[in-house]
Structure formats: structure tokens, C-alpha cells
């Protein structure tokens, strides 16, 4: 299995003292975020790890990983960064946002999925936003389900009282077939699409959630993995302080 960690973003929203630091290297209880991820991956026996870096890539000094430098980070968003590692989107692949910390059982739950395209979903997400005035609930990457618990929509700030709503963690698992479907669809879009792409101004400015919505709209099955366990996203100083409490050791 390949693991691709998308780490081309910076910590500028957390604070001025880390604005030139890759967000995944921001420290939580004196350990970089990415080290928490690598520790969990080691525990599940995953070794083939690729980290996509952007600005300040020279600050990464991690062992036993391979680096993909995103030379075009200023011209695209997170989907474009992921596709800089397109050649490694093959066979079984685990894709991770680099600004999340999670415990072992969350990764075990998604690795157990037998579906071609699986995404980690938290249905108890609202409690995670209590007190997050700098990172309100409206910024959550929400997932909307129909009555059969099939995903029908994924985007920020879904407002719907008639359907269940969850939050996407930023963890996606692809089988060999899922990887092929993902890359094939992206290649088609690169050749033929222009203009607005779901919630993004263009394909080049798209998020992974925009791509997932495209797969769903194309009748390609995307299965939720309903996780349980501790996790957090770190995007602001409030998030950082919260993570230090949750993952104190």
C-alpha cells in the first residue's frame, strides 16, 4: 500500500511565528503533527509513504519517507497537490490531509474497508466545534446522506434538517480499481473541463471534496467509513491548544 500525505500547506493561519512553517511540522506537545501520523502508520505496518511538500520543503527532515515537491503549489489547491503524486496513485492507496491527528483505531477502521473508494466520516462532528470561534462549524467539510446512508453531497457548511450530516476527516482509501477510477476521471477533467468545478472556481483550485462530489455525480460509488475514536484538525491556534489537550502524553 502507498500512503500519500498532502503537506504543501503552511501554518500561517495558526500564527505569525509558524507562518513560514509547513503546517504538518507545527508542533503539538513538542512533536510535529506529521510525527503523530507516521507513528500510527508504523503501527499498522505501512511503510511506502510519500509526502507532498510545497513552500519551505527544505524544513522536512524525516526518515523512511519519500518526498514529492509540488513546484506548482501557488497555482492550484489541495487536489492539484495530490495529483502531483499521480504516479503513486495506484494499487491500494491511503490519502491523508497533513493537518490532522488521529488515533490508531481510526486508521484501522478505514483500512478494513473492502470498497474501492472509502472516506472516513465522523457523525459526532458537531461537538468538535464547541468553542472553536476561530474555526466555526461553517468551515466543516460536511457529508450529506440519503435514507440508505449513501453519500449524496460533500461540501462545506451543508444546511439540511432532513438528512443526516457528517464530517469528512481528510482520510481516503482507494483500492487498485478505485485508484484507476480516480486518476481516469481526473485525466478526463483535465482535458475537457473548464470553468467552475463544484464549489471551486476552477479544476485547478479544487479541493479533494470537489473531486469526490464529481465521482458521486458520475455514479462512481464512494462509501463512508463511520469512524469512532479521537481525532482533530489543526488550522488555528485554538485548534492547536485543543489538540494538545486531546493528545496529551
**Structural domain for 150, as ranges:** 2-246
Q: How far is CA 124 from CA 165, 166, 168, 215, 246, in A?
A: 9, 7, 11, 25, 16
Q: Domains in the chain: how many in total? A: 1
**pLDDT at residue 249 greater than cutoff 80:** no
What b/e readout covers 19-28, taking b as 16+ CB neighbours within 10 angstroms? eebbbbbbeb
Q: Which pLDDT value is given to residue 234?
A: 95
Report the pLDDT averaged over residues 74-103. Answer: 95
Three-state DSSP state, 131: coil
Percent of the chain with pLDDT over 90: 87
Report the pLDDT averaged over residues 102-128. Answer: 96
- Nearest residue to 68 via CA among 12, 7, 1, 22: 7
- Cα angle 64, 65, 69 (rounded to 5 degrees) comes to 150
Q: Which pLDDT value is given to residue 9?
A: 82
pLDDT-derived band at 146 (thresholds 50, 70, 90) equals very high
pTM: 0.95
**pLDDT at residue 112 greater than cutoff 90:** yes
Q: Which pLDDT value is given to residue 20?
A: 84
Asked if 224 contacts 109 with a C-beta cutoff of 8 angstroms, the reply is no
Report the pLDDT averaged over residues 119-135. Answer: 93
CATH number of the domain where residue 163 is located: 3.90.550.10
Q: How many CB atoms lie within 10 A of CB 81?
A: 23
Amino acid at each position: 500500500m502507498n500512503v500519500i500525505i498532502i503537506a504543501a500547506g503552511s501554518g500561517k493561519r495558526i500564527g505569525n511565528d509558524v507562518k513560514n512553517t509547513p503546517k504538518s511540522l507545527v508542533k503539538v506537545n513538542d512533536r510535529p503533527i506529521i510525527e503523530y501520523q507516521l507513528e500510527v502508520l508504523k503501527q499498522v505496518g505501512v511503510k511506502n509513504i510519500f509526502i507532498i511538500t510545497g513552500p519551505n520543503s527544505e524544513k522536512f527532515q524525516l526518515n523512511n519517507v519519500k518526498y514529492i515537491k509540488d513546484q506548482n503549489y501557488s497555482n492550484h489547491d489541495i487536489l492539484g497537490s495530490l495529483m502531483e503524486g499521480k504516479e503513486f496513485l495506484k494499487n491500494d492507496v491511503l490519502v491523508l490531509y497533513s493537518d490532522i491527528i488521529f488515533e490508531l483505531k481510526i486508521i484501522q477502521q478505514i483500512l478494513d474497508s473492502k470498497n474501492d473508494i472509502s472516506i472516513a466520516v465522523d457523525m459526532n462532528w458537531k461537538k468538535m466545534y464547541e468553542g472553536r470561534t476561530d474555526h466555526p462549524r461553517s468551515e466543516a467539510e460536511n457529508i450529506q446522506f440519503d435514507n440508505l446512508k449513501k453519500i449524496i453531497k460533500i461540501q462545506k457548511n451543508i444546511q439540511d434538517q432532513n438528512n443526516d450530516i457528517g464530517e469528512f476527516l481528510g482520510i481516503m482509501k482507494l483500492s487498485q480499481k478505485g485508484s484507476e477510477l480516480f486518476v481516469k476521471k481526473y485525466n478526463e477533467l483535465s482535458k475537457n473541463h473548464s470553468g467552475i468545478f463544484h464549489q471551486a472556481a476552477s479544476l485547478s483550485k479544487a479541493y479533494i471534496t470537489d473531486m469526490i462530489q464529481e465521482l458521486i455525480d458520475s455514479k462512481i460509488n464512494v462509501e463512508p467509513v463511520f469512524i469512532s475514536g479521537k481525532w482533530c484538525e489543526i488550522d488555528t491556534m485554538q485548534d492547536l491548544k485543543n489538540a494538545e489537550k486531546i493528545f496529551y502524553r
